[in-house]
Amino acid sequence: MSAAPEIRIRSARTGDVPQMVALMEPLVARRILLGKDLVDLYAAVPEFLVAVDGDDAVIGYGAVHVMWERLGEVRTLGVSEAWLGRGVGHRLLTALEERARALGLQQLFCLTFETEFFGKHGFEQMSEDTELVAAEVYAELLRSSDEGVAEFLDLARVKPNTLGNTRMLKHLSEPERIR
């Protein structure tokens, strides 16, 4: 794997959305990522970081979505096929984890087919009996219309999950049940 020193990670801007969509389209077509409406992508711009090359072209993207006080989700992480294996995904995920810590999150959840990649970064597969949240938090989370929350809670309405991917979790600090 050759390094990608010519890239930098920065907060996404609204002008990045068309480039992000172009990079997402092949992954959506292969059912690796869920397609997102443009209105939702623009609304989520503050959650996204992008990796850009020396010409400021977007070559990767990823978001941290806050689910609860200390719980977040890594969403929509992807890298241009031309840049795969060059450290872009690693740098994006590291930056997303830093952002999550700055937000006060202690656990990060993801849904992924890339279990080896996330496993190398400390994420572990969640089991059916993983109890992560207190009962009162679970009741509050049930009120959410967010599909990511439904996937995290492993609700029947998302079974089998939307894409058939794996639920994984990383503890950014000492593991404890979210209260």
CATH number at residue 28: 3.40.630.30
With a CB cutoff of 8 Å and minimum separation 6, the contacts of 41 are 17, 20, 21
As a whole number, mean pLDDT of residues 139-145 equals 60
Q: pLDDT of 85-137, one tens digit each?
A: 999 999 999 999 999 999 999 989 888 888 999 999 999 987 765 556 566 66
The total domain count for the chain is 1
User: Does residue 139 belong to any structural domain of this protein?
Assistant: no
Supply 44's token pair: 């989520």
With beta carbons less than 8 A apart as the criterion, state whether 65 and 72 touch: yes
Confirm whether 179 is domain-assigned.
no
Please give the model's pTM, rounded to 2 decimal places. Answer: 0.81
Per the structure, the complete domain to which residue 21 belongs is given by: 8-127+161-171
Q: What is the pLDDT of residue 129?
A: 57
Q: Is the pLDDT of residue 140 over 50?
A: yes
Is 133 part of any domain? no
Domain for residue 151, yes or no? no
Asked whether residue 135 is domain-assigned, the answer is no
pLDDT at 91: 97
Q: How confident is the model at residue 4 (pLDDT cuts 50, 70, 90)?
A: very low
Dist. CA 25–CA 143, nearest whole Å: 31
Q: What's the pLDDT tens digit per position in 38-90? A: 999 999 999 999 999 999 999 999 999 998 888 889 999 999 999 999 999 99
Query: Strand 124-125 vs strand 107-112: parallel, antiparallel, or unpaired?
Result: unpaired
Average pLDDT over residues 28-41: 88
Does a structural domain hold residue 132? no
Of the listed ranges 25-34, 93-102, 153-162, the least confidently predicted one is: 153-162
**Residue 112 falls inside a structural domain:** yes
In a domain, 176, yes or no: no
